[in-house]
Amino acid sequence: MNRYESAKEIYAQYGVDTEKALKRLAEIPISIHCWQGDDVIGFDGSQSLDGGIQTTGNYPGRARNFDQLKADIQKAFSLMPGKKRLNLHASYAILGDDKGKVDRDAYEPKHFKAWVDFAKEIGLNGLDFNPTYFGHPKMKDGLSLSSPDEETRQFWINHGIACRKIAKYFADEMHSYSLLNVWIPDGYKDIPADRLSPRLRLKDSLDKIFAHRLDGVVDAVESKVFGIGLESYTVGSNEFYQIYASKNNICCLLDNGHYHPTEVVSDKIPSLLAFSDKIALHVTRAIRWDSDHVVLLEDELKEIAKEIVRNEAYDRVLIGLDYFDASINRLAAWVIGQRSMQKALLSALLMPDKMLKDLQEKARFGKLMWVNEELKTLPFGDIWNEYLLRENLCFDWYSSIEDYERTILSKRV
């Protein structure tokens, strides 16, 4: 009997069907962020990152242009199991002759056609999109949709409207929804004199951006507690967006780096599932602050995955990754993070949920604790290896990243 067959029998003793788990895992899409490949710089002019977010490190090989980023994505994606979507930012527009002529308030689907062609070519499940409210001279005093300067605010409203049309184009072309996520860095470094007016302006801006429904576009808003240099106040706070989303029937996007250190997204998922049809995630790993470290198979990630799986919220929780590490090989960062998410989902799929819920309802908490502890030492690795085998991938993928680094990345200047 091989290791998988033996592990399958062990899980069966707990009533867990490993075949079902493997099939399901291969069907759960994960949206992978394009911005890990180039340290969130984009192609539309910005040379550095602002907006309270930061990449640290200067590992060689950052993608400098569309061709390089495409090549890196293709290589990294080829080492990732499962169903993949690609998450783009507006700053990754391919402007061609429009460079220097067309600004972010007027980007059009044609500026993303090359991305659609690429997504189709490599067989992606869909494309997701984000307006880019950072790294741009029109951010005035660090503000966009909440700016008191009407010209500035209107520019960024127009950007949001333009981006939703691009998301609609993605949905139509890819025959799959497109998640359109609005995150803005707007906030203040020090104690504000007025906390309400910026929020009222943001509310008005969002009303204008989301004025009409667009079929296939899943609109979302992403809150945050603070950013670097914006420590005292964030306009788009958690309460603000939760209420906005629920009143306007749009979706909340939860980034697990965006809360106070002891708050957990795993507990927020079921709270929101009680009220909204869909929620979206930016899965990241925050160390001491919203540091966007590479996602690893840690306890909170496993809890997040459990909340998706045991509530069968596969179509309701849209999983996306959001981290950027410039201190290690960027393709390795991509692959390790995506595989960690998949591992967390698999580990959740291998839990005897019904039995565990039953123990909770019958208040048999000692037994619940015992079973949960037993589950931790079951031969998870054998099931994971079987999954990789079925996906035509191997456990030892790192040498192929090293080859790519030697032959391609190290030549970039």
Interacting partner of 290 out of ligand RNT, Zn ion, none (Cβ under 5 to 8 A depending on kind): ligand RNT
Q: Tell me whether residue 35 or residue 188 sits nearer to Zn ion (CB atom).
A: 35
Candidate list 72, 255, 307, 325, residue with the active-site label: 255
Q: Rounded to the nearest whole angstrom, what is the least distance from the CB of residue 323 to ligand RNT in the complex?
A: 8
Q: Rounded to the nearest whole angstrom, what is the least distance from the CB of residue 231 to Zn ion in the complex?
A: 18
Residue 212 appears among annotated catalytic residues = no
C-alpha distances (whole Å) from 300 to each of 261, 296, 307, 317 are 12, 10, 11, 16
Contacting range for Zn ion; rule: CB under 5 A; set: 127-135, 205-213, 280-288, 307-315: 280-288
Residue 222 appears among annotated catalytic residues = yes
Residue 175 appears among annotated catalytic residues = no
**Residue 255 in contact with Zn ion, rule: CB under 5 A:** yes
Tell me, rounded to whole angstroms, the distance of Cα 100 from its chain centroid: 30
Burial class of residue 189 (count of CB atoms within 10 Å of its CB; 0-12, 13-18, 19+):
middle
Q: Tell me whether residue 11 or residue 133 sits nearer to ligand RNT (CB atom).
A: 133
Residue 224 appears among annotated catalytic residues = yes
State the number of binding residues for Zn ion (CB under 5 A).
3
Q: Tell me whether residue 219 or residue 322 sits nearer to Zn ion (CB atom).
A: 322
Residue 258 appears among annotated catalytic residues = yes
Residue 299 appears among annotated catalytic residues = no
Binding mask 287-326 toward Zn ion (x if CB under 5 A, else -) reads -----------------------------------x----
Sites of contact with ligand RNT (CB under 6 A): 35, 40, 53, 130, 183, 222, 224, 255, 282, 290, 322
Candidate list 38, 72, 290, 325, residue with the active-site label: 290
Q: Tell me whether residue 128 or residue 307 sits nearer to Zn ion (CB atom).
A: 128
Residue 98 appears among annotated catalytic residues = no
Q: Rounded to the nearest whole angstrom, what is the least distance from the CB of residue 253 to Zn ion in the complex?
A: 7
Candidate list 35, 115, 183, 334, residue with the active-site label: 183
Q: Tell me whether residue 81 or residue 142 sits nearer to ligand RNT (CB atom).
A: 142
Q: Rounded to the nearest whole angstrom, what is the least distance from the CB of residue 185 to Zn ion in the complex?
A: 11
Checking DSSP bridges between strand 178-182 and strand 187-188, what pairing results, if any? unpaired
To 10 degrees, what angle do helices 380-390 and 330-349 make?
120
Half-sphere exposure of 295 (CA within 13 A, CB side): 30
Residue 204 appears among annotated catalytic residues = no
C-alpha 75/C-alpha 36 separation (Å) is 13
- Can you read off the two tokens belonging to residue 293? 């470290």
Residue 23 appears among annotated catalytic residues = no
Using CB under 5 A as the binding rule, the residues of this chain from 61 to 100 that contact Zn ion are: none
Residue nearest to ligand RNT (CB): 183
Candidate list 75, 89, 258, 302, residue with the active-site label: 258
Q: Tell me whether residue 10 or residue 264 sits nearer to Zn ion (CB atom).
A: 264
Among 282, 293, 330, 339, binds Zn ion (CB under 5 A): 282
Q: Which residues bind Zn ion (CB under 5 A)?
A: 255, 282, 322
List residues with catalytic annotation.
183, 222, 224, 255, 258, 282, 290, 292, 322
